[in-house]
Amino acid sequence: MTTISELAAGMSINISVIIVNDNDFNGIVKLKGFYISNLGQNFQTHNINVDYTSGLSECDKSLVEGDTINWINLVSDDIQIFAPYPLWTNSIIAEGSSASKQFVIPGESFSYFFKRNGFTFTPTCTITILDDSGLITNPIYDASLSLDIKVINPETNVTVSVPIENYVISVFTNAEGILSITNSGNKIAKNVKLTADWFSFNSNNFDLEVGQTKGLIYSLSPQIFSTNDTNKSYSKILTVEGNFPTYSHNFTINVPYAVIAGTNSSGGLTGSEWIELFCKQIITDPYGIEFQKAMCVGKTIVIGQNTDGSNISVDYTASEVRSWFDFMFKESDKNEEFQKWVKENYDLQGNLISNISSSSVAISQKVDGIEKKQNNLRESQMILFIFVLALIVVGLFFAYQRLFSKTKRIDAPRGSLLEGYQ
């Protein structure tokens, strides 16, 4: 489209848009506007919460030069920001903390996202730093057009040649073959797409000019994981699609008998049998249900292990991987909450024990004081008793002395008295 030099308030302009690509398009088209502005520096700080469940409290953000963003980690784990350059040391925000960055370069714009233990859990967001004055463009004022364009190509015809259509293939092996596709019509063949179960192609989603022939090499690998699935014949259909009548071709694959051994950890079952059994189980625990969904929903291709010890490889969709990480993080958060609860209760019990110990010491000290008082009282009582006893003995002694003196005078010889009267 041509540039609109000026669009006054309330003004409408009709424009013509030229589509220059002949492929389908489904996405957002942005229209940018430029404004004369005098924003001025306010050196504001903008807080953005980072949470594992809800992501970022704000995603795309426009700042004025000199402003600061403060990211607050609400995740029960350390998280790391990924941006064009490190925003701070290691770009890591510890659990329960925050990190800030001031932006001072006007016109700068960059995208960032957060990871937790290597797994991306936020969308990719963009920060734009606006000049404080002059001609600026602010992304939050840009117009967004949602366009879904389907390109209908003129129909043509193709011819497919398949030399071999019957195969005998042992388990855990593969066979290769060739086929050719010719554009026998008078229009270009667009986006020629081949699909077939157990097949992979060295080229796909290509164009064919009028009269052009393209040879393709394919690899055929039977996905067999159980002994009961051997000694059988299988029918697989090749489909070729594009701006021409859909072409289909049937392949017959015979898989000879083979013993497929399981592992000790799966109780004699193969990997696919174990997954199939797990997916049929009824699980009531919500986290178990999420893990079962992660294992059982979506595109899952499992290549089992042969008795010679060859490797097992598994291919999962992005949504499955996301589900696994969600499950693992939730379990990790639950475990961390439990550990916190244990620690809090351990600390509480420790405080109680400490208080009991302090009380015991205080009681012991009081008992010791009482014992000392009792000992002192007993000592005082003993001294008093000895003192009283001594007084009694002394009293008795003086009483005895006095009584003895009187008795001596009364018992004196009578003769001496009579002699006095003569």
- The string of pLDDT tens digits covering residues 360-389 is 777 777 777 777 777 777 777 777 778 777
**Residues 6+ away with beta carbon under 8 Å from 219:** 174, 175, 176, 199, 200
pTM, two decimal places:
0.44
CATH number of 184's domain: 2.60.40.10
- Residue ending a domain, choose from 125, 149, 173: 149
Q: Categorize the per-residue pLDDT at 301 as very low, low, confident or very high, splitting at 50, 70 and 90.
A: very low
Task: Please check the confidence at residue 266 and state whether its pLDDT lies above 50.
Answer: no
Task: Please check the confidence at residue 320 and state whether its pLDDT lies above 90.
Answer: no
Tell me: do 112 and 174 sit in the same domain. Answer: no
> Is residue 371 situated within a structural domain?
no
Tell me: do 174 and 104 sit in the same domain. Answer: no
> Is residue 367 situated within a structural domain?
no
pLDDT of 22:
77
3-state helix, strand, coil in the chain (%, to 5): 30, 30, 35
How many C-beta atoms surround the C-beta of residue 391 within 10 A?
A: 10
Q: How far apart are CA 153 and CA 192, in angstroms?
A: 12
> Is residue 375 situated within a structural domain?
no
Task: Please check the confidence at residue 24 and state whether its pLDDT lies above 80.
Answer: yes
Tell me: do 57 and 139 sit in the same domain. Answer: yes
> Is residue 361 situated within a structural domain?
no
- Residue of 33, 32, 41 lying closest to 131 (CA atoms): 41
pLDDT of 19:
82
Question: For the residues 141-170, what does the mean pLDDT come to?
Answer: 92
Tell me: do 128 and 198 sit in the same domain. Answer: no
Of 5-9, 59-63, 203-207, the poorest mean pLDDT is in 5-9
Query: Would you tell me the crossing angle of helices 318-410 and 286-296 to the nearest 10 degrees?
Result: 150
**Residues 6+ away with beta carbon under 8 Å from 397:** none
- 92-143 residue pLDDT tens: 999 999 999 999 888 888 899 999 888 888 999 999 999 988 888 888 888 8
**Residues 6+ away with beta carbon under 8 Å from 357:** none
Place of tokens 């008998």: 257
Q: Categorize the per-residue pLDDT at 168 as very low, low, confident or very high, splitting at 50, 70 and 90.
A: very high
Strand spans (E) along 286-417? 300-303, 313-316
CATH number of 48's domain: 2.60.40.420
- Helix and strand counts by DSSP (H, E) for the chain: 4, 25
Place of tokens 């475990």: 335
Tell me: do 56 and 162 sit in the same domain. Answer: no
Tell me: do 236 and 310 sit in the same domain. Answer: no
Tell me: do 248 and 272 sit in the same domain. Answer: no
Q: How far apart are CA 328 and CA 305, in angstroms?
A: 26
Percent of the chain with pLDDT over 70: 78
Question: For the residues 350-366, what does the mean pLDDT come to?
Answer: 72
**Domain count along the chain:** 3
Of 1-5, 207-211, 256-260, 295-299, the poorest mean pLDDT is in 295-299
Tell me: do 141 and 184 sit in the same domain. Answer: no
Q: Categorize the per-residue pLDDT at 267 as very low, low, confident or very high, splitting at 50, 70 and 90.
A: very low
For residues 181 and 158, is the Cβ–Cβ distance under 8 A? Answer: yes
Task: Please check the confidence at residue 335 and state whether its pLDDT lies above 50.
Answer: yes
pLDDT of 180:
95
Give 42's strand partners.
none
> Is residue 204 situated within a structural domain?
yes
- Residue ending a domain, choose from 316, 332, 350: 316
Task: Please check the confidence at residue 321 and state whether its pLDDT lies above 50.
Answer: yes
Q: How far apart are CA 43 and CA 69, in angstroms?
A: 10
The CA-based angle 384-386-392, given to 5 degrees, is 105
Mean of the per-residue pLDDT values of the chain: 80
> Is residue 406 situated within a structural domain?
no
Domain around 195:
158-255
Place of tokens 């609109």: 4
pLDDT of 311:
47
Tell me: do 90 and 196 sit in the same domain. Answer: no
pLDDT of 299:
40
> Is residue 144 situated within a structural domain?
yes
- Residue ending a domain, choose from 255, 283, 300: 255
> Is residue 342 situated within a structural domain?
no
Tell me: do 123 and 164 sit in the same domain. Answer: no
Tell me: do 117 and 230 sit in the same domain. Answer: no
Tell me: do 139 and 165 sit in the same domain. Answer: no
